[in-house]
Structure 1
Amino acid sequence: MVHDTVRSPSVLRSTTFLRLWTATTASGIATWALPFVLGLAVLSRSITAVELGVLLAARTVGFLAAVPVSGVLADRYARRQVVLWSGLTSAVAAPVLAAFVGNSLVVAALAAAAMGAGQGACRPAFQALTAEVVEGDQRQQANAAMTLSVRVTTLVAPGLTALLALFVNTQVLLLGIGALWLVAALVPPAGTGLTAPGSGNGFVADFWEGVREARRHPWFLAGLGALTAVIATGYSATGVVLPLVSRDRYDTEAVLAGAMTAYTLGALAGALLIARWRPRHAGWTALSGLALYGFAPLSLLLPVHPFVVIAAYVVAGIGIELFNVPWFTATQREVEPSKLARVSSLDFLMSYGLAPVGLALIAPAISEFGAPAVLAVCAVICFAAPALAALVPSSRDFGPRR
């Protein structure tokens, strides 16, 4: 594949972008930290495994409920204000969760749902705000910088959080998550106000207007379908089958830890690469990267050396960022600015929102058909879905050819 490397002024020199990056990084750390901290609470016997499941389910419900609402609100009003109120919602819910976790499951679940709602509400608003404050030729670098912060967090934060847990209790850690949400709420810069007043026909009509905007872009529908399929199958295989294979085939937890670390390192490498690389056909490159995730379930299917599994997860990590960064950049470029938050909310709702469905179905499928058959199907879907999406003409460049 022929490609070009483009040198443009670094977006990291912009104070406005650094404020946005700081806020999105804080929200990313807070989003990651909540289930990890609650997991530590189970280990310390502050809560039970059942209570953990209820709290995480409540957070997921709050997230899914807030994403479409936020998409509409962020297109009606200033995106900066939506980010502010989303972050404040999670920040206020954090001390409530800290006070009632282990004491009142009902109140703690409501607080977890509120934190999930704040998390879900900020995602499309941040996407649209990025398009407002970053120039078009710098957005790929900006999106890569944001995803780099997420990957560094997932690599370094577990050890640091576990170390902190030796000195402070769950309640203090939850208050720390609330402080991160305050940063996410208060630090972002003001946008340029690329919003629309709405159709006047209500929330549902405005949301469907966003759906119609998404349908105007065949590459978006094809790519979203491929991403949803890969997350629902490949990610589910990682979440459910990898621990079993690590235990039963290799008789060690090292393969599980090594594969997850390798995935994060691969994603870091992929983000660094795509920050500077401008492929000639960005869409095909991105979809090819997405297809690389198929090597993860394939490596779990075959009786290979543990290092082959780890190498497969490195490749999958590289591929997922080769997809993510051009995908976000193209969405910010091609979608009507006043409808960008609604289209982004549809993206998050379909892809990551359906991930729990895949996780819920894969365990019964393994019980019914066996792990080899399920892994084979997951691998085929991971390879085939991006390939089918690439057949859509506008998928070659994620938009009209330039």
Structure 2
Amino acid sequence: MTDPKPSMFLPLKHRDFAFLWTGQSLSSIGNAMFPIILAMVVLDRHSGATGLGVVLAVQGIALAVGTVLAASIGDRWRRTRVMIGADVVRAVGVAAIAIAPVHLNTAVFMVLVIAIGIAEGLFLPAYSAVPPRLLPEEALQGGNALSALSQYVSMVAGPTLAGLVIAGVGPGPALWIDVGTFAASLATLVFIKETDAANARDESPDEEETGGIIRRGLRDFNEGIREIRSRPWVGASIGMATVVMTFCVAPAFLAAPIVAEKSLGGSAAYGAAFAALGVGSIIGSIVGGKIRTSRPGTVACCGLFTIFGSVGSLAVLPLVGVLICWAIAGVGVTVFSILWMTALQQDVPDRVLGRVMALDWLGSQGLMPLGYAAAGLVAASIGTRDMLIVSAFIVLIAAPLPLLVRGGTTFSSRPAAVENEPAGTTV
């Protein structure tokens, strides 16, 4: 290859992305802290395991609802404005819980959890879709690698910080730290400038005659679906990710604490497994930012084969083997994520990118609660070990499926167009 290798740190030379990355690096620590703090708050409210399950399920559903809403508004409003609004809602919601975490009225508590979940669902697709408005195309891969790096460093640091603060002074101060991370995000977002061309709304001539917000939202949602269907590699990859996350990753996450307690040495082993996953993900962020290949789809899907080892290891390997497999999976999944996000940002038109990102998040994350519920039933029926073995082999079947469709190996619609159309034509 004569092209220079992409630099992971090139995006930081761009002022607006540097602001974005700095704020989100701090905010992602708060995001990683919140589930730990929320669990402790719920248990302190004497709600028990059942109550915790209800709260987590409600939050997951709210996140999915927010993602659906993002499919409508993500391309109509400035993406930074969507992110600012979501951060305001999350900061206010977490602050309200922090004021009286234990004595807060149950109905009010649930409303706040729902609001925080919806806001997060709005935020994530907008954040994924905003880099093309701030960076040139050659810097996108490095930008996605930096975002992944901060995310996975936070995945290790956030729960650790939450645990230390809760153990030392309780969940209330930990919640205020979370509020502070959202404030840091807001402080950087307000300084980001998107170009006028990027901010122009893509309105059809009959915009004022659409018959209301709901009809317009459905139209936007359907347009996102059509955009995905016009790119077979996008639809196949989202479908594959939905299967893997719902029927492989969710069962593994559900089974991990059970297996750790029964055969790996207890809760310390459970924590070590996620620490290994985080370390692997950090390495994957660095590797993913340096990869230069004409077949990113092939490389990305090969990375997902590592999930086979992480899921299967829980069924058959001792702790050392589990830690190695989870670290390797962290590398593979993160490489997939970086190449996948970069491909979407480069191939999907900006006017619909927010909708496509929202549908991607909905497919890969939205059915996780269903996966947890199904995994519990399957484990009760055939046993945890057999469930994990079945889930591991599902990975082997699902991971290569995107490679079988047009554009799957290149994660792009462009090569096929270049081969069949005059030079310079793109799809």
Instruction: Confirm or deny a common fold (TM above 0.5).
Output: yes
Cα deviation digits, residues 234-274 of structure 1 (max 9, x gap): 22232122222222223433432222111111111111111
1:363–1:195 Cα change, 3 Å: farther
Q: Distance in 2 between matches of 1:288 and 1:89?
A: 39
What's the offset of the Cα at 1:393? 2.9
Aligned twin of 2:381: 368
Q: Distance in 1 between matches of 2:230 and 2:281?
A: 31
- Letter matched to residue 122 of structure 2: A
Cα deviation digits, residues 329-366 of structure 1 (max 9, x gap): 11111111110000000000111111111111101101
- Letter matched to residue 236 of structure 2: A
Q: Distance in 1 between matches of 2:32 and 2:381?
A: 32
Instruction: State which of 261, 282, 285 in structure 2 corresponds to 1:268.
Output: 282
Aligned twin of 1:34: 34
| 2:135 is equivalent to residue 150 of structure 1 | no
Q: Distance in 1 between matches of 2:36 and 2:265?
A: 25
1:191–1:47 Cα change, 3 Å: farther
Do the aligned partners of 1:54 and 1:109 also contact (CA within 8 Å) in 2?
no
Q: Secondary structure at the match of 1:276?
A: coil
Do the aligned partners of 1:224 and 1:350 also contact (CA within 8 Å) in 2?
yes
Cα deviation digits, residues 70-112 of structure 1 (max 9, x gap): 2321211211211111111111112222235322111011011
Q: Secondary structure at the match of 2:102?
A: coil
Aligned twin of 1:291: 305
Instruction: State which of 305, 309, 315 in structure 1 corresponds to 2:328.
Output: 315
Q: Secondary structure at the match of 2:194?
A: coil
- Letter matched to residue 152 of structure 1: V
Q: Distance in 2 between matches of 1:342 and 1:86?
A: 17
| 2:390 is equivalent to residue 377 of structure 1 | yes
Aligned twin of 1:190: 193
Aligned twin of 1:203: 217
Aligned twin of 2:108: 107
Farther-moved stretch of structure 1 (185-194 vs 145-154): 185-194
Instruction: State which of 347, 352, 372 in structure 1 corresponds to 2:365.
Output: 352
Cα deviation digits, residues 45-93 of structure 1 (max 9, x gap): 3443244333333322321111121232121121121111111111111
- Letter matched to residue 394 of structure 2: I
Aligned twin of 2:161: 160
Q: Distance in 1 between matches of 2:54 and 2:95?
A: 18
- Letter matched to residue 275 of structure 2: T
- Letter matched to residue 348 of structure 2: V
1:85-100 to 2 correspondences below 5 Å:
85-100=85-100
1:349–1:195 Cα change, 3 Å: farther
What's the offset of the Cα at 1:321? 0.6
How much identity, in percent, do the aligned residues show? 26
Q: How many residues align?
A: 399
Instruction: State which of 242, 246, 265 in structure 1 corresponds to 2:256.
Output: 242
Q: Distance in 1 between matches of 2:185 and 2:46?
A: 28
Q: Secondary structure at the match of 1:223?
A: helix
Aligned twin of 1:11: 11
What's the offset of the Cα at 1:144? 0.6
Q: Distance in 2 between matches of 1:4 and 1:300?
A: 42
Do the aligned partners of 1:287 and 1:386 also contact (CA within 8 Å) in 2?
yes
Do the aligned partners of 1:389 and 1:395 also contact (CA within 8 Å) in 2?
yes
Farther-moved stretch of structure 1 (291-300 vs 236-245): 236-245
What's the offset of the Cα at 1:4? 7.9
Do the aligned partners of 2:285 and 2:335 also contact (CA within 8 Å) in 1?
yes
Aligned twin of 1:337: 350
Normalised by the length of structure 1, the TM-score is 0.93
Do the aligned partners of 1:198 and 1:206 also contact (CA within 8 Å) in 2?
no
